[in-house]
């Protein structure tokens, strides 16, 4: 028997794309914000379908809906949502699939934009110097340094970091982490040296087209498999691998879960997903690869467009996140 008498009717439940997570469909109660009639599914309908229900425990407690007997899954590791600011000639932009001819300019004030993400609760900021990635020379240092000085949260930067001196200069002026892409493939020993000298501060950016690593602003593609490159940094002290799927980057079409799974399985280095996030469901879908070691996700265009709300996404995958409540063997759910 299923009863759902105390849940407000205007709560919505959303199916997340989690087909691979233990055979359960997961749903998020998203409060009263309303996500549009098309996407909203009545909670009762969800319960009728007798799926395991995933709800934020804090929501249940706040509303005094908590019932003894509801089960809480072991606390999962939080997934970090990392807003991205891509800098091109001093402006905040997004490219479509990394194409420098398909630029959308979102802001002319990178510091204000960075402060805005911080105000919205971001716990880390991801910066890309797109000119640097293309030319190998730093072009957006004024913005990078101003952002780093203005923010309290850690800031990481990729794009054009091609030498030990440059990495050290950036770490020396307050950046928390440097991201090495092109040199990871061209001079892997440099990455290893830096990683052992600066533990926790060196990240490898692996950008892949059809599973093969692309470099130099994604203008060149190598014959090296992204998973092989990831594997080669096992045990070197690299803090994380940012795995970007070029085909999905800037498209809002959803992350490439297969490539993320392969990258996470290739080594024990934590993976940060990048590319394709367009909706909250896309963020939630990453929970299916979180147990494999995907510990964060970089979100760009969707935050600018407003299709993902930073605070909501953080709540959805943070430590207080959607936990399993319920299911007795009979499948009855009492809310």
The catalytic residue positions are 86, 207
Tokens of 67: 């019932």
CB 207 within 8 Å of CB 221: no
CA–CA distance from 126 to each of 39, 155, 158 (Å)?
Answer: 30, 6, 8
Q: Total number of residues binding ligand AMZ (CB under 6 A)?
A: 21
Is there binding between residue 296 and ligand AMZ (CB under 6 A)? no
Is there binding between residue 275 and ligand AMZ (CB under 6 A)? no
CB crowding 110-133: b at 16 or more within 10 Å, else e = bbebbbebbeeebbbbbbbbbbbb
Is there binding between residue 160 and ligand AMZ (CB under 6 A)? yes
CA–CA distance from 153 to each of 50, 112, 121, 149, 188 (Å)?
Answer: 42, 14, 10, 10, 29
CA 171, 209, 241, 128 dihedral sign is positive
Point out which span in 180-188, 252-260, 283-291, 310-318 binds ligand AMZ (CB under 6 A). 180-188
Is there binding between residue 215 and ligand AMZ (CB under 6 A)? yes
Q: Which single residue is written with the structure tokens 């203008």? A: 219
Point out which span in 32-40, 46-54, 147-155, 211-219 binds ligand AMZ (CB under 6 A). 211-219
User: C-beta of 213: minimal distance to ligand AMZ in Å?
Assistant: 10
Is there binding between residue 218 and ligand AMZ (CB under 6 A)? yes
User: C-beta of 199: minimal distance to ligand AMZ in Å?
Assistant: 20
Tokens of 10: 């205007």
DSSP assignments along 229-242, one per residue: HHHHTTTTT--EEE
Is there binding between residue 205 and ligand AMZ (CB under 6 A)? yes
User: C-beta of 88: minimal distance to ligand AMZ in Å?
Assistant: 9
Q: Residue 131 half-sphere exposure, CB side, CA atoms within 13 Å?
A: 13
Is there binding between residue 159 and ligand AMZ (CB under 6 A)? yes
User: C-beta of 246: minimal distance to ligand AMZ in Å?
Assistant: 8
* Interacting residue ranges for ligand AMZ, rule: CB under 6 A: 95, 98, 128, 130, 132-133, 158-161, 179-182, 205, 207, 215, 217-218, 242, 244
């Amino acid at each position: 028997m299923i009863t759902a008498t105390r849940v407000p009717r205007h709560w919505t439940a959303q199916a997340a794309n989690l087909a691979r997570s233990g055979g359960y469909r997961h749903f998020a109660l998203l409060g009263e914000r309303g996500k549009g009639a098309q996407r909203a599914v009545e909670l009762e309908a969800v319960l009728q379908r007798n799926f395991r229900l995933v709800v934020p425990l804090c929501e249940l407690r706040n509303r005094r809906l908590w019932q003894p007997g509801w089960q809480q899954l072991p606390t999962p590791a939080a997934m970090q949502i990392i807003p991205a600011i891509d800098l091109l000639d001093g402006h905040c932009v997004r490219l479509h699939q990394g194409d420098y001819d398909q630029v959308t300019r979102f802001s002319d004030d990178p510091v204000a934009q960075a402060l805005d993400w911080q105000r919205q609760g971001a716990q880390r900021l991801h910066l890309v110097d797109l000119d640097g990635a293309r030319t190998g020379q730093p072009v957006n240092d004024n913005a990078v340094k101003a952002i780093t000085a203005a923010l309290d949260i850690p800031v990481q930067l990729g794009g054009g970091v091609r030498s030990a001196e440059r990495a050290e200069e950036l770490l020396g002026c307050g950046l928390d982490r440097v991201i090495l892409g092109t040199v990871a493939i061209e001079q892997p020993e440099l990455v290893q040296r830096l990683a052992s000298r600066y533990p926790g501060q060196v990240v490898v950016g692996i950008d892949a087209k059809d599973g093969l690593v692309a470099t130099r602003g994604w203008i060149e593609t190598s014959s090296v498999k992204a998973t092989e490159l990831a594997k080669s940094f096992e045990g070197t002290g690299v803090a994380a691998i940012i795995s970007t799927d070029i085909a999905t980057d800037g498209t809002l079409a959803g992350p490439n879960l297969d490539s993320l799974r392969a990258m996470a399985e290739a080594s024990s280095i934590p993976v940060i997903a990048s590319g394709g996030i367009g909706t909250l469901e896309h963020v939630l879908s990453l929970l299916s690869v979180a147990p494999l070691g995907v510990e964060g996700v970089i979100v760009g265009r969707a935050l600018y467009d407003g299709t993902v709300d930073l605070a909501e996404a953080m709540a959805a995958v943070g430590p207080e996140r959607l936990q399993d409540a319920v299911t007795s063997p009979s499948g009855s759910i009492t809310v």
